[in-house]
Amino acid sequence: MLKLITSLSIAALVSLTVLGSAQASEGAIELKSGNFKHGGLFGTYDRAAAQRGLQVYREVCAGCHGLKRVAFRTLMDLGFSEDEVKAIAASYEFTDGPDKDGEMFQRPGKPFDKFPSPFANENAARASNGGALPPDLSLIAKARHDGDDYIYSVLTGFEDAPAGFEVPEGKHYNAYFPGHNIAMPPPLSDDSVEYSDGTKATLDQEAHDVSVFLTWAAEPKMEQRKQTGLKVILFLLVLAGIFYAVKRKVWSDIH
């Protein structure tokens, strides 16, 4: 048994390193760490940061990026009250219908609605962004390696291009975007928003906060997942102990 466990752990370590290094080398640029509280076995989303991140998204990013998979009602996970959620939803207009006369009509958003996208379709989005498509951000944190650190790094990674590096018309130099030429103009700077909770809105703070918010948007069940996992694993440990004891007992007469 001991031998099996040792050989399996060695095999597991080797293969994880192999797989890990295989993945790592793909995005060769080393990312900055956003020092997030949602990492690790027990990490949870920083509610205050996520709420501020929502503000950054709504006031800055939403001009170009949709968030079409996130329903307003789920914002209650971030500590918003039902009334606050209703107010946030109602600040958007939705086209609904047809009514009984066959007409489409405008109505304020409801908690069951999802964030509306800024452009009617992909072509409209490209036309407004010099041909580039601002991706929907609902899943961006899972659609990139180390998504939370990646978003944080890109948002804080706009710099002057090194001497000799060619940045084409309509592109911007970014230290962390693959290829470095990104079509997104630097969206954030100090005081891009005014935080209602008194937090100082530095570029770094805004980038951190919106990264927390987008990580939640991509993986809203993370906390439930980790909590369930803890219970399941504790249960399995006890179960394994019991089975082991029974096994010892049953096998004690075999020689």
Q: DSSP string spanning 81-146?
A: -HHHHHHHHHTSEEEE---TTS--EEEE--TTSBPPPSSSSHHHHHHHTTT-----STTTTTSSTT
**CB within 8 A of 94, min separation 6: which ones?**
106, 107, 108, 109, 113, 116
Residue 172 contacts which entry, ligand HEC, other proteins, none (Cβ below 5-8 A, type-dependent): none
In the complex, minimum distance from the CB of residue 133 to ligand HEC, in angstroms, rounded to a whole number: 6
Nearer to ligand HEC, 78 or 151 (CB): 151
Per CB under 8 A, the list member of 58, 74, 86, 223 interacting with other proteins is 74
Enumerate binding residues for ligand HEC (CB under 6 A). 56, 60-61, 63-65, 129, 132, 134-135, 140, 144, 151, 154-155, 177, 182-185, 187-188, 210
> Among residues 1, 28, 104, 120, which is the contact residue for other proteins, using CB under 8 A?
1
Residues 75-114 as x/- pattern, contact with other proteins by CB under 8 A: ----------------------------------------
| CA 216/CA 185 separation, integer angstroms | 24
Question: DSSP H helical segments within the chain, as ranges?
Answer: 2-24, 47-59, 82-90, 122-128, 147-155, 203-218, 222-251
Taking the C-alpha atoms of residue 169 and residue 172, their distance in angstroms, rounded to an integer, is 8
Interface with other proteins by CB under 8 A: which residues? 1, 4, 8, 14-15, 18-19, 21-23, 25-26, 41, 69, 71, 74, 135, 138-139, 142-145, 147, 178, 218, 220-221, 224-226, 228-230, 232-233, 236-237, 239-240, 243-244, 246-247, 250-251, 253-255
